[in-house]
Structure 1
Amino acid sequence: MINLSSVTMRRMVRTTSKWFLNGRCPLWLQRKGLNLLGGYAFLPKPIKIEKSMIAARPVWWFNLDNRRSEQVILYFHGGGYGIGSPRSHRDLCAYLALYANTSVASIAYRLAPEHPYPAAIDDGMAAYKALMDSGFSPDKITLAGDSAGGGLALTLALKIKAQNLPQPACLFLISPWINKSREAVSHVTQFEVDPVINESWSLQMAGNYLQNSAQITAEACLVDKDLSGIAPMLIHVGTDEVLLDDSLLLKQKAIKAGVHVTLITFKELWHVFHFSASLFKPARMALKQAGEYIHSMMN
């Protein structure tokens, strides 16, 4: 476990993001790069990884002492629906499992442009149903994710409601991408301070997933959806990130819909700073707070 300063961590994040997260970098290299950045940190004791399949998709289980718990966090990685994997988010998921004292199932949902909208949603929904079919009670399941994965988790809660299925215990959303129309102010003004997201990359990912279709974009955008009746949610967001307004708007919408919501903002931190938990103490502290919230909601 290492404790890098915020200044050092920000520089590292900005440098690596410039290498891999830009519209000029081939997609295959973006995917390999993100896996490299997040996939090889030492696992915290006593977390062990179990690789299997769920609903015909690969899934990495992060278990304590090689045993699946009676509760589970179904985790959806970020990466603009085009990159990312259970390997890339290995560090984050391991610490979330540790602090929640709960197994995390990180699913490798299908990615765009090979599998555009709504492939990821279909995979997520199939995984949720498969968990219930395997014996997990809905009140022992948490849906969680970061960035695009956070938007995916929220979309699933809405799909679950539409299909009259029981809601999960709660949602944990890290900087969720909910406004696909780019009308939020922070989508324009925050590129200079966010060391992770740049405009060319965000346009590339959105175009791949939404197929540059106005109709699909409107359908996928979550800002105008009825949130009433969905599970309680915890939202984490940094003040120095492009998707800041997505989280602020989501809180307002949730309150108006009567959904219990807790929003925590992290001053001068960037998009999904939780990613490098083994290197950055604020990331571990944020995941500890989230883990305690999740544990309390499922017990």
Structure 2
Amino acid sequence: MSAARDTSYGNPTAIEKAGAAASIALHLPLVLGWTLLTSPFHHNNRHKSARRVLSDKFFYHLTGRLNIKQLQWLTGTTLDVYEAYVKANKLPRVVDELDEGARLLWIGERRTDRVILYFHGGAFLIPMQTTAAPFWKHAQDELKSKGKDVGIAILQYSLVPTATFPTQLKQAVVAVQHLLSKGVQPQNIQLAGDSAGGNLVLQLISHVLHPVPDVPILVLSSPFRGAYLMSPWVSITSQAKSVFSNDSSDILSPGCLLYWGRAAVAGVPESQIQYLEAIKAPEGWFDGMDKVVERLLITAGDAECLRDDIVVEAEKLVKLYKKDGAARFVLQKYGVHNDPFLDFSTPGQKLGEVTPIIVQWFAAGFEGN
């Protein structure tokens, strides 16, 4: 008789907790010290500040050395990350409790005129990065300076192993339905997602085009105004060349990606794998996407492990948009996974070249709305 699957979240053993603590206290300082000494000789680090180099290596070390339970224990939940951010920045705590165990977490006030609905990354295993909320607050402030007051709604969805596909898709549908029920029009919603969050945006689009059984059908009176995918996870079990060739430059290791990928797709029927791995979708799968989402922006880093798969999928998706300027793919030189977020790992860092592009893209999407 097989053992029952452990569905607990962030519950490592005492030995695993001690191992995580030892890795951080004993091994990590040596890794960071060596990284700082050698970074001038690494072409991908020469343009980065010392703080950014150390922050990137810190993330690489933790995700590469710790198992899923240890990472969940250390990072908490998306609600924990959100509450710590709004408290530290003296922002109001604005939370909408949704069906299916989901929540919408608002940065600033709740709005119904213009909304960016954000799905966070983390391989469906770990919560929103601490760098995500500062990025979105910056985007919100920049949009306000351009005369665009925008609500930022973060979806807190359930994580593996507590819940698996299609739970996260159900929660994304519920989030959209909630916004629609409050009077937000689809043409005033722009979707956004990084990594696994970008994957979830593509799941949502796939579901509109090809409904998943037992997931509520999403009926839209008009297309979403736009969708932005940052380093989208389009191939969860990738063996692409860049997965291994960019190991020394990215914030995620090949071993980490493969380990997380196996956990994320465990139990997903092969007949539904295209919802989780867009790159495996049959030809014509995304035909009509431009009728679901009017505008598309995809960004990735040329130094990230997922680069090759993102480039392949981005080229296919961009071709679906016939209207000039409706779809764009930006490959950032020296960029790593989720690079725009990482400039917010410590205060006062110089922002990369892609962040202004992202902000302007959202501003253009809300033009006239």
TM, length-normalised to structure 2:
0.69
1:159 is aligned to 207
Q: Any conservation in 2 of the 1:77–1:149 contact (CA below 8 Å)?
A: yes
- Taking structure 1 as reference, are residues 34 and 97 closer, same or farther at Cα in structure 2, changes over 3 Å only? farther
Distance 1:282 1:123 in 2: 32
What is the 5 A alignment of 1:32-71? 32-33=74-75, 48-55=92-99, 56-63=101-108, 66=109, 68=111, 70-71=113-114
1:218-245 deviation digits (Å, cap 9, x = unpaired):
4521123324333221111111101112
Whether 1:281 aligns to 2:323 is no
- Taking structure 1 as reference, are residues 184 and 16 closer, same or farther at Cα in structure 2, changes over 3 Å only? closer
- Taking structure 1 as reference, are residues 228 and 253 closer, same or farther at Cα in structure 2, changes over 3 Å only? farther
Q: Any conservation in 1 of the 2:91–2:107 contact (CA below 8 Å)?
A: yes
Q: What is the SS of the residue equivalent to 2:351? A: helix
Q: Any conservation in 1 of the 2:299–2:330 contact (CA below 8 Å)?
A: yes
Distance 1:93 1:176 in 2: 17
- Taking structure 1 as reference, are residues 16 and 8 closer, same or farther at Cα in structure 2, changes over 3 Å only? same
2:316 is aligned to 253
1:136 is aligned to 184
Provide structure 2 residue ranges, at least 5 long, that are not aligned to the other structure. 1-46, 145-149, 211-217
Q: What is the SS of the residue equivalent to 2:183? A: coil
- Taking structure 1 as reference, are residues 61 and 289 closer, same or farther at Cα in structure 2, changes over 3 Å only? same
Provide structure 1 residue ranges, at least 5 long, that are not aligned to the other structure. none
How many correspondences in the alignment? 291
Single out whichever of 266-275 and 183-192 deviates more from structure 2: 183-192
2:169 is aligned to 121
- State the one-letter code of the partner of 2:249: V
What is the RMSD computed on CA atoms of the aligned residues?
Answer: 3.1
Distance 1:201 1:181 in 2: 11
- State the one-letter code of the partner of 1:90: A
The higher-RCO structure (CA 8 Å, 6+ apart) is 1
- Taking structure 1 as reference, are residues 42 and 274 closer, same or farther at Cα in structure 2, changes over 3 Å only? farther
Q: Displacement, 1:265?
A: 1.8
TM, length-normalised to structure 1:
0.84
Distance 2:88 2:357 in 1: 17
What is the 5 A alignment of 1:180-199? 180-194=236-250, 196-199=251-254
**Greater strand percent: which structure?**
1
Q: Any conservation in 1 of the 2:237–2:261 contact (CA below 8 Å)?
A: no
Whether 1:83 aligns to 2:123 is no
Distance 1:108 1:98 in 2: 22
1:207 is aligned to 262
1:108-154 deviation digits (Å, cap 9, x = unpaired):
11111221111111111111111111110000001101001011112
